[in-house]
Chains A and B, each alone.
Chain A
Amino acid sequence: MKIHELTAAYTRGETTPSRVTNEYLERIAKLDDKVGAYITVTAEQARSAARAADDRYRVGRPLGPLDGAPITLKDVFCTKGVRTTCASKILESFVPPYDATVTERLAKAGAILLGKANMDEFAMGSSTEHSALRVTRNPWDLTRVPGGSSGGPAAAVAAGLAAGGLGTDTGGSIRQPAAFCGVVGLKPTYGRVSRYGLVAFASSLDHPGPFGGDVLDTALLLGAIAGHDPNDATSIDAPVPNYAAELDRDVRGLRLGVPDEYFIDGMDPEVERTVRAAIDVLKAQGATLERISLPATPHALATYYVIAPAEASSNLARYDGVKYGLRVPGHDLIDMESRTRAAGFGAEVRRRIMLGTYVLSAGYYDAYYGQAQKVRTLVRREFDAAFSRVDLIVAPTTPNVPFKHGEKADPIAMYLNDVFTIPADMAGVPAISVPCGFTASGLPIGLQLIGRALDEATVLRAARAYERATSWHTRRPELAA
């Protein structure tokens, strides 16, 4: 069920938030052993929040379109009193004393938190295989990965273990799992949604954003979490439009750019064919197509692997066993800190900390970090130039389909998965992935729409137009208990 269908049913009195919440909790109990979407299930809090929502619907005063919506949060968002692990050993027992801004905003909108969803450790990865706590499986094929790093919430929404959710996208971490799991995932403009209470991976690239069963749900979730936050100095102070209200306008005359660099040798031919067909659907709706070029695209990936690890090495320095989380005793302070970090971080996190430490070192800073910032500016300028000619850029979300667990053991092979998603993170512009078909073997494929900064409305509107003309978003995987 979609969130907008559930809340409509609550309003009509056909069901209640409590009944629906219990159904979701039962389904989690029955199916999550298979999927592995959750790290922590917050059944008691969910039931109590649902009862409060029941009362509001009973007196005809729901808080809004998310009241009673059962959702999940990637375990990277702080939840007061509920452990927030980042799928790591080092924060396995960390219970934040405060709520992230998005946690608070969703609660105020009446959304019901079912639990905290799995992810790659500290959001570093593209398959959720780097979770130190749990394996998450793709609901469409349990031998395959759900994508990552926000694999947990994507799998939960796909498997019907949550009606919606929030993830974070630093280098494709919302859109790629959305494509892999056949759900909608939106990475908003950098600064559109507050990062306060989101455990940082790479501060200048971390984007919190929603997962939905369809574009309308995604728009409703974005509406609840977007907007200026005085606790985040990088959050943008601009009015938040009513995204849902704008959604059903048609796309006639909308100019779509199709970038050469997003259709490359080595990509899965089924993905290319399916995405091109999806673009033709938008053309049939009245949008115009234009071939464009974004030559910095391949460099964005390399640049990302300088900037993101650099910031990560700094952000993760605080985990030293002194204040919270894991502490492994040692014979002195440095020994204690070293043992704690060695035991508390997984191989991928350690790799990126070392990489980041190296590129920030005296003598290497200019060659790596300084140079990477220049390339980042170039990527941003290319998008600016493109958006002077087109309203949206349309492309595949990923070059390939969900792979099998263990298939991409080589880090570089894993990193290449994000080649089409990383540029929008580097530029900070909004981008969405919507389901646009399936391979012959039944694996989902995602269409990516990238828009101008702060123009989520157009991104959502075009995605919705595509969705209305197709039925991919109504398909759900068969999962037997």
Chain B
Amino acid sequence: MTARYDVVIGLEVHAQLTTRTKMFCGCPTTFGAPPNTQTCPVCQGMPGTLPVVNRRAIEYGVRTALAFNCRVNAACRFARKHYYYPDMPKNFQISQYEEPLAEEGRLDIDLADGASRTIGIQRLHLEEDVGKLVHEGTLETAQSSLVDFNRAGVPLMETVSKPEIRSPEEAAAYLRAFRAVLVYLGVCDGNMEEGSLRCDANISLKPAGAAELGTKVEIKNMNSFRNVQRALEFEVTRQTEALDRGQRIVQETRLWDADRGYTRSMRSKEFAHDYRYFPEPDLVPLELDAAWIEEIRRALPELPRARRQRFVAAYGLPAYDAALLTQSRALAEYYEAAVRDFPQPKLVSNWIMSELLRALPGDDERAIEHAKLTPARLAGLLRLIEDGTISGKIAKTVFETMLATGEEASAIVRREGLTQVADADALARMVASAIAANPRAVDDYRKGKTVASKAVVGHVMKASGGRANPAMVSKLVEEQLEKLTKR
């Protein structure tokens, strides 16, 4: 369908920075506090108040810019962007316009078919977030609206990609890679549901191979990776059909309605805002010290893509494992710590992927960092399996306990008497009583149904509470049944 047209997409991503305080005042940035409790005269836009730049927010911006290989501008400045909206206390937003913090960067993305692409980043700038309107009922029927300024003034970083994304799938891949970098850098928690990460898209279609870009449409209100892809897929279809019918695309802003699965027109260019940007006179131009930028560069962590490639090369992991294990910095570090203590990379990977990630979200830095089951303890558990102290099956129940209590595996095994029974005499007695209790199994075996031995093994395992060494039990059962049936 789209072969006749080239899809051109550019993404604007707004990321709330995880600084402790707001962009231009000392109020806390904590999410979910009671309305208007995290405010002061400055972030409420009271008459007479003035902004003061949060140095940490600048640092986070520089860190991100360097991670995207942007040129960090030695001098940048803030500008006022004007529009009337009740959630914006001053009716202008302090943002950056002609002199942004950083420009000309790039982000490498990986696609499902294994191919990778480089998407250019046009600019990265800092600004303040707005408050939130709470409507009584729906926007259309509400008799009144309330304003919560807790979010007003929270540092926002806007990153604009170049129009180099060629499909909705690439857009989703860009966003995933983008999010991973931010989370690795520790500058944003990446939570799209809570609005810490928001994405708007510009999308246009042009006849395949044409040089000139088509009319672009801006899509807003896509609050998950999936919705970004769905909304853009809808738009590709809508625009393709319109163009096929010979219609012109209207330059406009459209809202994605996730429930109904379509975009609808919000405002057209005729009603476009004139933001009347001008340099913010209450703030002096920002001059960034080259040494400080270098210091931030030196402190940059290994980024997700590089780490994923290293996991494949250094640990011999499949690409799938490496991708999963590097989805957050905390998880990757968890994995590496566990491998240091128990150097069987694939085994460690299996346990993390199948057990740990069942209990903890791998993209949640804090959850992983604060997991009671530490990497060293996980390694301890794996050692107990390896040396035969416990069976793999028992290990899984021990794992559950460790997750809840954070204890050492050996302590749990000792306390609950879970040590594997490998004493041949004891096992022989257990097998004998199991055979005695299962005369049918002996008959079946005699008739040649060798699978009957499995029932006896199961019985022994059950009777031992799973502690019997399964390999030894199987061997003993075979031997005893042989003996009984041969006479």
Residues of A within 8 A of B (CB): 77-78, 84, 86, 91, 94, 96-98, 100, 195-200, 202-204, 230-234, 310-311, 313-314, 317-318, 320, 322-324, 333-334, 337, 357, 360-362, 365, 369
In the complex, which of the residues B48, B82, B147, B276 contacts A200, with contact meaning CB atoms closer than 8 Å?
Answer: B48
Find out whether the CB atom of B48 lies under 8 angstroms from the CB atom of A322. Answer: no
Find out whether the CB atom of A320 lies under 8 angstroms from the CB atom of B52. Answer: no
Asked if A231 meets B89 with Cβ closer than 8 Å, knowing A314-B276, A361-B276, the reply is no
Instruction: Give Cα distance in the complex from A203 to B283, angstroms.
Output: 10
Find out whether the CB atom of A333 lies under 8 angstroms from the CB atom of B86. Answer: yes
Provide a sorted-by-A list of 12 A–B residue pairs whose CB atoms are within 8 angstroms. Answer: A94-B47, A197-B49, A202-B281, A203-B281, A204-B281, A233-B50, A233-B53, A314-B80, A318-B45, A323-B45, A334-B84, A362-B276
Find out whether the CB atom of A317 lies under 8 angstroms from the CB atom of B51. Answer: no
In the complex, which of the residues A204, A324, A362 contacts B46, with contact meaning CB atoms closer than 8 Å?
Answer: A324
Asked if A234 meets B282 with Cβ closer than 8 Å, knowing A78-B47, A195-B50, the reply is yes
Find out whether the CB atom of B84 lies under 8 angstroms from the CB atom of A96. Answer: no
Asked if A197 meets B48 with Cβ closer than 8 Å, knowing A98-B41, A314-B92, A317-B82, the reply is yes
Instruction: Give Cα distance in the complex from A198 to B49, angstroms.
Output: 8
Asked if A323 meets B276 with Cβ closer than 8 Å, knowing A233-B52, A233-B283, the reply is no
Asked if A84 meets B47 with Cβ closer than 8 Å, knowing A314-B80, A360-B278, A369-B278, the reply is yes
Find out whether the CB atom of A314 lies under 8 angstroms from the CB atom of B282. Answer: no
Report which residue of B147, B274, B284 has the largest number of chain A beta carbons within 10 angstroms of its beta carbon: B274
Find out whether the CB atom of B50 lies under 8 angstroms from the CB atom of A314. Answer: no
Beyond A98-B46, A318-B89, list 12 extra A-B contacts (CB 8 Å): A84-B47, A96-B46, A96-B48, A197-B48, A232-B52, A234-B50, A234-B281, A234-B282, A310-B278, A314-B80, A317-B82, A333-B86
Find out whether the CB atom of A230 lies under 8 angstroms from the CB atom of B48. Answer: no
Instruction: Give Cα distance in the complex from A231 to B53, angstroms.
Output: 10
In the complex, which of the residues A314, A318, A360 contacts B47, with contact meaning CB atoms closer than 8 Å?
Answer: A318
CB distance from B279 to the nearest CB of A (A): 9
B327 within 8 A of A: no
Chain A residues in 8 Å Cβ range of B48: 77-78, 84, 96, 100, 196-200
CB distance from B151 to the nearest CB of A (A): 15
Find out whether the CB atom of B89 lies under 8 angstroms from the CB atom of A323. Answer: yes
Instruction: Give Cα distance in the complex from A94 to B91, angstroms.
Output: 18
Instruction: Give Cα distance in the complex from A195 to B50, angstroms.
Output: 8
Find out whether the CB atom of A96 lies under 8 angstroms from the CB atom of B41. Answer: yes
Chain A residues in 8 Å Cβ range of B41: 96-98
Find out whether the CB atom of B91 lies under 8 angstroms from the CB atom of A317. Answer: yes
Chain A residues in 8 Å Cβ range of B446: none
B161 within 8 A of A: no
Interface of A is mostly: loop
Instruction: Give Cα distance in the complex from A232 to B284, angstroms.
Output: 10
Chain B residues in 8 Å Cβ range of A233: 50-53, 282-284
Chain B residues in 8 Å Cβ range of A78: 46-48
Within 8 A of A (CB), among B267-281: 274, 276-278, 281
Chain B residues in 8 Å Cβ range of A94: 47
Instruction: Give Cα distance in the complex from A100 to B50, angstroms.
Output: 11
CB distance from B149 to the nearest CB of A (A): 9
Residue-wise, chain B 261-303 has the 8 Å CB interface mask toward A (1 for contact) of: 0000000000000101110011110000000000000000000
CB distance from B135 to the nearest CB of A (A): 11
Chain A residues in 8 Å Cβ range of B52: 230-233
Minimum CB distance partner of A91 in chain B: B47
Find out whether the CB atom of B50 lies under 8 angstroms from the CB atom of A232. Answer: yes
Instruction: Give Cα distance in the complex from A94 to B147, angstroms.
Output: 19
Residue-wise, chain B 45-84 has the 8 Å CB interface mask toward A (1 for contact) of: 1111111110000000000000000000000000010101
B90 within 8 A of A: yes
Find out whether the CB atom of B44 lies under 8 angstroms from the CB atom of A323. Answer: yes
Chain B residues in 8 Å Cβ range of A91: 47
Chain B residues in 8 Å Cβ range of A86: 47
Chain A residues in 8 Å Cβ range of B86: 320, 322, 333
Count A-B contacts at CB 8 Å. Answer: 98
Find out whether the CB atom of B47 lies under 8 angstroms from the CB atom of A320. Answer: no
Find out whether the CB atom of B84 lies under 8 angstroms from the CB atom of A337. Answer: yes
CB distance from A28 to the nearest CB of B (A): 25
CB distance from A229 to the nearest CB of B (A): 9
Find out whether the CB atom of A361 lies under 8 angstroms from the CB atom of B274. Answer: yes
CB distance from A178 to the nearest CB of B (A): 23
Instruction: Give Cα distance in the complex from A195 to B52, angstroms.
Output: 13
Rank and list the top 5 A-B pairs by shortest CB-CB distance, nearest first: A317-B91, A203-B281, A360-B276, A204-B281, A199-B47
Chain A residues in 8 Å Cβ range of B84: 317, 320, 334, 337
Find out whether the CB atom of B147 lies under 8 angstroms from the CB atom of A322. Answer: yes
Instruction: Give Cα distance in the complex from A196 to B52, angstroms.
Output: 11
Find out whether the CB atom of B281 lies under 8 angstroms from the CB atom of A311. Answer: yes
Minimum CB distance partner of B273 in chain A: A362
Within 8 A of A (CB), among B3-43: 41
Instruction: Give Cα distance in the complex from A310 to B52, angstroms.
Output: 22
Instruction: Give Cα distance in the complex from A64 to B289, angstroms.
Output: 41
Chain A residues in 8 Å Cβ range of B51: 233
In the complex, which of the residues A320, A337, A357 contacts B276, with contact meaning CB atoms closer than 8 Å?
Answer: A357
CB distance from A370 to the nearest CB of B (A): 9
Instruction: Give Cα distance in the complex from A318 to B283, angstroms.
Output: 18
Chain A residues in 8 Å Cβ range of B49: 196-197
CB distance from B91 to the nearest CB of A (A): 4
Chain A residues in 8 Å Cβ range of B46: 78, 96-98, 324
Within 8 A of A (CB), among B77-136: 80, 82, 84, 86, 89-92
Minimum CB distance partner of B78 in chain A: A233
Minimum CB distance partner of B286 in chain A: A233
Chain A residues in 8 Å Cβ range of B80: 314
Chain B residues in 8 Å Cβ range of A361: 274, 276
Chain A residues in 8 Å Cβ range of B274: 361-362
Find out whether the CB atom of A96 lies under 8 angstroms from the CB atom of B47. Answer: yes
Chain A residues in 8 Å Cβ range of B281: 202-204, 234, 311
Find out whether the CB atom of B92 lies under 8 angstroms from the CB atom of A317. Answer: yes
Instruction: Give Cα distance in the complex from A365 to B48, angstroms.
Output: 26
Find out whether the CB atom of A196 lies under 8 angstroms from the CB atom of B50. Answer: yes
Minimum CB distance partner of B85 in chain A: A333
Minimum CB distance partner of A311 in chain B: B281
Instruction: Give Cα distance in the complex from A35 to B175, angstroms.
Output: 66
Minimum CB distance partner of A341 in chain B: B84
Chain B residues in 8 Å Cβ range of A314: 80, 82, 92, 276, 278
Instruction: Give Cα distance in the complex from A77 to B49, angstroms.
Output: 11
Chain B residues in 8 Å Cβ range of A311: 278, 281
Chain A residues in 8 Å Cβ range of B90: 317-318
CB distance from A203 to the nearest CB of B (A): 4
Minimum CB distance partner of B276 in chain A: A360
Chain B residues in 8 Å Cβ range of A232: 50, 52, 282
Instruction: Give Cα distance in the complex from A97 to B147, angstroms.
Output: 19
Minimum CB distance partner of B42 in chain A: A231
Chain B residues in 8 Å Cβ range of A234: 50, 281-284
CB distance from A90 to the nearest CB of B (A): 10
CB distance from A102 to the nearest CB of B (A): 11
Instruction: Give Cα distance in the complex from A445 to B282, angstroms.
Output: 34
Report which residue of A200, A318, A324 has the largest number of chain B beta carbons within 10 angstroms of its beta carbon: A318
Residue-wise, chain B 417-435 has the 8 Å CB interface mask toward A (1 for contact) of: 0000000000000000000
Minimum CB distance partner of A195 in chain B: B50
Instruction: Give Cα distance in the complex from A197 to B41, angstroms.
Output: 10
CB distance from B174 to the nearest CB of A (A): 30
CB distance from B366 to the nearest CB of A (A): 32
CB distance from A331 to the nearest CB of B (A): 12
CB distance from A316 to the nearest CB of B (A): 9
CB distance from B45 to the nearest CB of A (A): 5
Instruction: Give Cα distance in the complex from A312 to B385, angstroms.
Output: 74
In the complex, which of the residues A197, A203, A357 contacts B282, with contact meaning CB atoms closer than 8 Å?
Answer: A203
Chain A residues in 8 Å Cβ range of B147: 322-323
CB distance from A385 to the nearest CB of B (A): 24
Instruction: Give Cα distance in the complex from A204 to B91, angstroms.
Output: 19
Instruction: Give Cα distance in the complex from A429 to B294, angstroms.
Output: 37
Instruction: Give Cα distance in the complex from A203 to B92, angstroms.
Output: 14
CB distance from A39 to the nearest CB of B (A): 15
